[in-house]
Amino acid sequence: MAESYRRSRWSNGLFVVPYLSVFLTLLVFPLGWGIWLSLNKVDLFGGERFIGLKNYARVLSDPIFGQAVKNTVIFVGVSVPTLVILGLFLALALNKTTKGSSFLRGVFFASSILSVTIVTLIWRIVFIPNDGLMALIFEYFGWQPIGFLSTTGWSLFSVGVATVWWCIGLPMMLFLAALQQIPKDLYEAAALDNASRWRVLTRITLPSIKSTIMLVAIIQVVMQFQLFGQAQLMTNGGPAGSSRPIVMYIYEVGFLRWDIGMGAAASQVLFLIILCAAMLQYWVSTRKEETDA
Amino acid sequence: MKKLLLGTTAVGLLALAPLANANTKIELQRFFGACEAEYGKVTDVSSAVGECGIITALVNKFEADNPDIDVNVTTVEWPGYDQLNAQLASRSAPDVVSMHYSAMSDYQSRGLLVPLDKLLKDQNIKPSDFTNAAISSVTKEGKVYALPFDNWTMLFHVNNNMMKKADLMKSDGKPVLPNSTDELFAQGKQFKDATGKPYLVQVTANETAVYARIFYTLLMQQDSKFFADPSRIDLSGKEAKAALTLMKDIMDKGLSTTNMDYPAAVAGFSNGAGGIAVNGTWLIGTYDAQSKQANNPLSDGYSVFPIPQFFKQKDVTYADGHGWVVPRGNRDDEKMAAIGKLFKFLYDNDYEWARTGHLPTVKAVIDSDKFKSLPHRSDIAKVAKTGQALPAQVLRQFAIQDILGEELGSAISGNKSMDDALKTAQYRINDLLENI
Amino acid sequence: MKALNYSPEHLTSNRRLFWIAALLGLIMMAPVAWIIGLSLKDNAELLKGTEAVFSFPYTMENYANILKSSSVFGWFMNSMIVAVGQTFGVLLLSSLAGYAFARLEFPFRKTIFIIVLFGLAVPEQAVIIARHQMFNWFDLHNTHIGLILPNLSSAFGVFLMTQFFRAIPKEIDEAAMLDNTSTFRIFWKVLLPLTLPAQATLGIFTFLQAWNDYWWPLISATKSDMYTLTIGIASSQTNFAQSEGLGFLGAQAIFASLPVVLVYIFFQRHIVTAVSGGAVK
């Protein structure tokens, strides 16, 4: 009996048919169709005409796309390390069974369950000039007010603050889970050596959760590259496009300018960028492990 | 068994019967904001103030007058065209949509709007009932594609109380306004020295439309033909540079508020943040109502005027307007008739809408004493003549406005040189127009 | 005693770190407190200046207005239907596929699995425009199904469930096989109950993702009666001046997040275990 269970049968494949059909129709086909669209002059209301790589040429020579790539890379480059370091810090600080720790863990994770529109609503009302919480604080201390949502540099920063506030829960939780997995005898050995806290952190804790750090970093890179809602709702990409991420560029080209051929081309470029970033990270991490070993 | 089935079918049909007689439903999608909490139940239109209040009350009134018609209102983020595009693409556009005249060519040229000649004729509304400015804006290829609702321009909304402090009031109770750029800077300085507040309250943050509209006005005043060819913009001339220079100088010389987005600028003027709000006709009703209340910065001290003529060549202001369109879709006669009734109602109540501050589109209203006796209307009467739109053949005017506003904004805030900004704007706009 | 002091907890954590975290927690909560404060104020008063938040009187009027007129309820129901539907769909499809990939043999199993894993790398953005067009062809926009379907294709669930099924000791299904149980019964009656913790993890992730989804509903649910909560709130917050005032917006945000926050508070322990479970490798 056991033999037949292990035997390769077509009927066993039936278990994957439901997912596979969804996978093919809603992921594989649209991926191919999207690539086909990107090679066509086509707008929201039809009119397909094959134009080869012209859409890609337009995207890559568009200064605004360049700006959006730059914005997104800066955003990812700052927000991901912040999320990783802050998440790790919180996990270390709150890795206790006391009531206070568990309450704070709850607080830090709670924002993750809010939807992006509520997060941006909250932070807009914090950052808006004159009436916002920050404006009141600045006024109280007599500081020069800052246009958080309307000044080049600050606007992307503000989007980043809202994003970190929103996303910090998951990294913290993943790090906490990883900390729980570290074998206790490692610490006992360290205790016998009278090792300092810093030494314990760098020699035992961090190396033990290395793979989790990598996992968190890759998840966050992939997520933050897809920044859209926060920027659209808080700054609408402004001022002067200084907080417009790639996804918002795709949205605008497709749904404001009707040009879904060019939008599709831009989204394939984004796909490539994310793929490269994730693979680069993976490569760096595995290479390091090899040299370590 | 069969009987039982038949029986249940019959019961089912009976249950459905009231549905069959149910009201005709009109899906209406508009901007102008949401104010359900304040106006959700108001049917007395004359008590409403402001765009949102008046249109909400109008729809309520229409539903009360026509119990057999339900109007289901969706409020979209201004201007809502991205959403409309997604709807049109998925063939799920609403029945009636608010649309700027400047956006209509895009949709009409692709056959996405329903011509309304018959619908209006059935309601005894003639094209000649509308002002020329209005009806010509919604007529494309000989057919009418929208119920014109208003015409608007940007204006100077003035806080007389603060102008008085700055000694900028004339003896007839009207403020002294600049007639040239030199006077603008002189009076602006005088105002700031006296009140400590900036002369102008401008929308400068997260905003592209206002920049573009002021820029168009300044170009038109120089009689620049920047859209001589409707498929290409030309910003290489000295006029564009002069217009942008003026806009930048206003900021650089501290004449304007900074960092205010649209809502902040609207509220800022109410709260006395500066002397003159550069904003549209739609705020007249709101500010006028405020000026009639006691103990606020505008109490007894509000007036409004066309944007001064800063360049000698031509007395002109950029103008646009709002209309109601019917996107393509399958609708039965009953629904079209209901839409007709709604349009007739809006047409009949053009005066109420004009209380917002917009110029009415119905000749009988604009010529009526009732309209003329509304406050401030005589001060801005001339914009009906001096208002000018972009050539109707220019497509994607909203996308152009976004590009232009963004580039002008970066020049004004000093992130880009003026030449660079104008060059980039021209490149981006022409790339957009070439690839339609 | 000394050994106790050197427990792992004490070596990785200390009091000073805790207080810094507590301070960060306060900063974390400040914006929420701010919004709650605004939501309890009269809008006209706020229009004059938001520092009014710090003084009496407070009012519940904004909340009353929501109950009277707002469409929040409808949006909430749509979000619920979509999130629950998507969660069930993902759990079902992923469990079936995960079981087969982990435990059964069928032609091209490895190849198919590798292809599916490639799906992990495809972000929504790469397919969304084409999907929008496809859904146009089949008139699927502005339907619950149209909102549920796209994320069912996510390969993450399949990957996760395959891992979990692999972790179950083989002896368990082998014992069941001796009783001549059918393959489906083994899956349904024997193995599936053992994956409950994994189901919880995947379920919570999927639910949160569906609940917070923004771009797809933005272009698919374009009729107001099909708005999800995310899109509905976005539609009312966009133009502050033309909307109903900061107090009302604040109340709407609080009101809309209340259900999930309550669920979170009640099931916090489970949610935390579930989320952490995802990391255990």
Residues on chain A touching B85 (C-beta within 8 angstroms): 44, 255-256, 258
Q: Is B152 on the interface with A (CB under 8 A)?
A: no
CA distance C237 to A122: 10
Confidence of residue A50 (pLDDT cuts 50, 70, 90): very high
C16 and C88 part of one domain:
no
CA distance B203 to B415: 18
Confidence of residue C17 (pLDDT cuts 50, 70, 90): confident
Q: Is A255 on the interface with C (CB under 8 A)?
A: yes
Q: Is B17 on the interface with C (CB under 8 A)?
A: no
Read off the pLDDT of each residue in A104-129 and give the average, rounded to a whole number: 88
Q: Is B51 on the interface with C (CB under 8 A)?
A: yes
Q: What percent of chain A has pLDDT over 90?
A: 47
C226 and C101 part of one domain:
yes
Q: What percent of chain B has pLDDT over 90?
A: 81
Residue with more model confidence, B266 or A284? B266
Look at A128 and B264 and tell me if their CB atoms are within 8 Å. yes
Q: Is C50 on the interface with A (CB under 8 A)?
A: yes
Look at A58 and B260 and tell me if their CB atoms are within 8 Å. no
Which of B 403-432 lie inside 8 A of C, CB atoms?
none
Average pLDDT, rounded, for chain A? 88
Write the CATH number for C88: 1.10.3720.10
pLDDT tens for A189-227 read 877 777 788 888 888 888 888 888 988 998 899 889 999
Average pLDDT, rounded, for chain B? 91
Q: Do C129 and A37 touch, CB atoms closer than 8 A?
A: yes
Residue C45: the pLDDT is 75
Q: Is A269 on the interface with C (CB under 8 A)?
A: no
Q: Is B292 on the interface with A (CB under 8 A)?
A: no
Residue A292: the pLDDT is 52
Angle at A126 between CA A122 and CA A127, to 5 degrees: 120
Dig out the tokens for B220 from the structure.
């038109």
- Count Cβ atoms below 10 Å from residue B24 Cβ, excluding itself: 19
Look at C119 and A27 and tell me if their CB atoms are within 8 Å. yes
Angle at B329 between CA B328 and CA B333, to 5 degrees: 110
C18 and C92 part of one domain:
no
The torsion angles phi and psi of A259, rounded to 5 degrees, stand at -90, 80
Task: Match 């000073």 to its residue by tokens.
Answer: C16
Mark out the alpha helices in A182-253 (DSSP H runs): 184-192, 197-200, 206-208, 210-225, 229-234, 246-251
C93 and C160 part of one domain:
yes
Which of C 19-48 lie inside 8 A of A, CB atoms?
20-22, 24-25, 28-32, 34-35, 38, 46
pLDDT at B342 over 90: yes
Read off the pLDDT of each residue in A146-159 and give the average, rounded to a whole number: 89
Read off the pLDDT of each residue in A28-54 and give the average, rounded to a whole number: 92
Residue with more model confidence, A259 or A191? A259
Residue A3: the pLDDT is 52
CA distance A290 to A57: 40
The torsion angles phi and psi of B113, rounded to 5 degrees, stand at -115, 150
Domain boundary (C65, C84, C116) is at C65
Q: Do A103 and C269 touch, CB atoms closer than 8 A?
A: no
Q: Do B250 and B201 touch, CB atoms closer than 8 A?
A: no
Q: Is C244 on the interface with B (CB under 8 A)?
A: yes
Nearest-by-Cβ selection for C123 from A121, A136, A226: A226
Q: Is A231 on the interface with C (CB under 8 A)?
A: no
pLDDT at B339 over 90: yes
Dig out the tokens for C198 from the structure.
């994994």
Angle at A204 between CA A200 and CA A209, to 5 degrees: 130
**B406: nearest CA partner in chain A:** A240
Q: Is B410 on the interface with A (CB under 8 A)?
A: yes
Residues on chain A touching C158 (C-beta within 8 angstroms): 19
Cis peptide preceding B297, ω within 30 of 0 = no
Range scoring the smallest mean pLDDT among A111-125, B314-328, C136-150: A111-125
Read off the pLDDT of each residue in B189-196 and give the average, rounded to a whole number: 95
Q: Say how many CA atoms lie within 13 Å of B92 toward its Cβ.
A: 22
Residue with more model confidence, A288 or C274? C274
Read off the pLDDT of each residue in B90-102 and give the average, rounded to a whole number: 94
Read off the pLDDT of each residue in A123-130 and give the average, rounded to a whole number: 85
Highest-confidence segment of A71-80, A188-197, C9-18, C224-233: A71-80
Which of A 95-124 lie inside 8 A of C, CB atoms?
95-97, 100-101, 104-118, 120-124
Nearest-by-Cβ selection for A44 from B85, B204, B406: B85
Residues on chain C touching B87 (C-beta within 8 angstroms): 222-223
* B244: helix, strand or coil: helix
Nearest-by-Cβ selection for A271 from C92, C100, C123: C123
Residue with more model confidence, C67 or B425? B425
Look at C28 and A165 and tell me if their CB atoms are within 8 Å. yes
Helix C268-277 vs helix A169-181: crossing angle, to nearest 10: 70
Q: Which of B406, B420, B422, B436 should we substitute to test contact with A (largest number of A Cβ atoms within 10 Å)?
A: B406
* Beta pairing partners, B150: B322
Considering the entire predicted model, what is its pTM? 0.90
Q: Is residue C96 part of a domain?
A: yes
CATH 3.40.190.10 fits B153-319+388-434, yes or no: yes
Domain boundary (C65, C98, C117) is at C65
* C23: helix, strand or coil: helix
pLDDT at A249 over 90: yes
Residue C279: the pLDDT is 47
CA distance C244 to C47: 11
Read off the pLDDT of each residue in B9-16 and give the average, rounded to a whole number: 48
Residues in chain C: 281
Q: Do C118 and A19 touch, CB atoms closer than 8 A?
A: no
CA distance B214 to B310: 11
Average pLDDT, rounded, for chain C? 83
Domain boundary (C21, C40, C65) is at C65
Q: What percent of chain A has pLDDT over 70?
A: 96
Q: Is residue C191 part of a domain?
A: yes
A280 to chain C, minimum CA–CA distance in Å? Answer: 13
C184 and C135 part of one domain:
yes
Residues on chain C touching A23 (C-beta within 8 angstroms): 116, 119, 153, 155
Confidence of residue C212 (pLDDT cuts 50, 70, 90): confident
pLDDT tens for B32-55 read 887 877 888 899 999 999 999 999
Dig out the tokens for B185 from the structure.
């800077």
CATH architecture of A53-292: Orthogonal Bundle (1.10)
The DSSP code for A25 is: I
CA distance B48 to B53: 5
Q: What's the maximum distance between 2 C-alpha atoms anywhere in chain C?
A: 78
**What sign results for the dihedral spanned by CA atoms C131, C134, C136, C142?**
negative
CA distance A120 to A115: 9
What does the radius of gyration of chain A's CA atoms come to, in whole angstroms?
24
**How would you label B399-422 residue by residue, b for 16+ Cβ within 10 Å and e otherwise?**
bbbbbbbbbbbbbbbebbebeebb
Read off the pLDDT of each residue in B259-286 and give the average, rounded to a whole number: 90
Helix C124-137 vs helix C144-152: crossing angle, to nearest 10: 140
Range scoring the smallest mean pLDDT among B202-216, B255-269, B270-284, C267-281: C267-281
Which of A 157-196 lie inside 8 A of C, CB atoms?
165, 170, 173-174, 176-182, 184, 187-188, 190-191
Q: Do strands B143-144 and B317-325 pair parallel, antiparallel, or not at all (unpaired)?
A: unpaired
A21 to chain C, minimum CA–CA distance in Å? Answer: 9
Q: What is the residue extent of each domain of chain B?
A: 20-152+320-385, 153-319+388-434
Look at C135 and B87 and tell me if their CB atoms are within 8 Å. no
Equal fold, B20-152+320-385 vs B153-319+388-434: yes
Q: Do C160 and C117 touch, CB atoms closer than 8 A?
A: no
* Structural domain span for residue C192: 70-237
Residue C238: the pLDDT is 57
Kindly provide the residue ranges of all beta strands, DSSP E only, lying in B166-316, ordered along the sequence. 200-201, 276-280, 302-306
Read off the pLDDT of each residue in C171-179 and give the average, rounded to a whole number: 81
Confidence of residue B169 (pLDDT cuts 50, 70, 90): very high
pLDDT at A149 over 90: no
Instruction: Name which of B212, B210, B155 is nearest B358 in CA terms.
Output: B155
Residue C5: the pLDDT is 43
Look at B89 and C132 and tell me if their CB atoms are within 8 Å. yes
CA distance B11 to B4: 10
Angle at B384 between CA B207 and CA B205, to 5 degrees: 10
CA distance C114 to C165: 17
Q: Do B321 and B361 touch, CB atoms closer than 8 A?
A: yes
Number of domains in chain C: 2
Confidence of residue B29 (pLDDT cuts 50, 70, 90): very high
**A259: nearest CA partner in chain B:** B436
What is the CATH class of B20-152+320-385? alpha beta
Instruction: Name which of C124, C150, C121 is nearest C221 in CA terms.
Output: C150
Task: Match 């998440």 to its residue by tokens.
Answer: A87
B341 to chain A, minimum CA–CA distance in Å? Answer: 30
Instruction: Name which of B136, B137, B116, B114 is nearest B125 in CA terms.
Output: B116
Residues on chain C touching A7 (C-beta within 8 angstroms): 105
pLDDT at C185 over 80: yes
Look at A191 and C3 and tell me if their CB atoms are within 8 Å. yes
Nearest-by-Cβ selection for B258 from A43, A147, A242: A147
pLDDT at A171 over 50: yes
Look at C11 and A200 and tell me if their CB atoms are within 8 Å. yes
Residues 6 or more apart in contact with residue A283 via CB below 8 angstroms: none
CA distance B136 to B150: 13
Residue type at position B436: I
Residue C8: the pLDDT is 52
**A258: nearest CA partner in chain B:** B85
pLDDT at A290 over 70: no
C29 to chain A, minimum CA–CA distance in Å? Answer: 8
Instruction: Name which of B379, B422, B177 is nearest B275 in CA terms.
Output: B177
Residues in chain B: 436
Q: Is B75 on the interface with C (CB under 8 A)?
A: yes
Query: Exposed/middle/buried for B127, CB within 10 Å: 0-12, 13-18, 19+?
Result: middle
CA distance B183 to C217: 52
Residues on chain B touching C219 (C-beta within 8 angstroms): 86
pLDDT tens for A5-24 read 667 788 888 999 999 999 99
Residue with more model confidence, C149 or A174? C149
Mark out the alpha helices in C153-267 (DSSP H runs): 155-167, 170-178, 183-185, 196-212, 215-220, 229-237, 246-266
Residue type at position B38: E
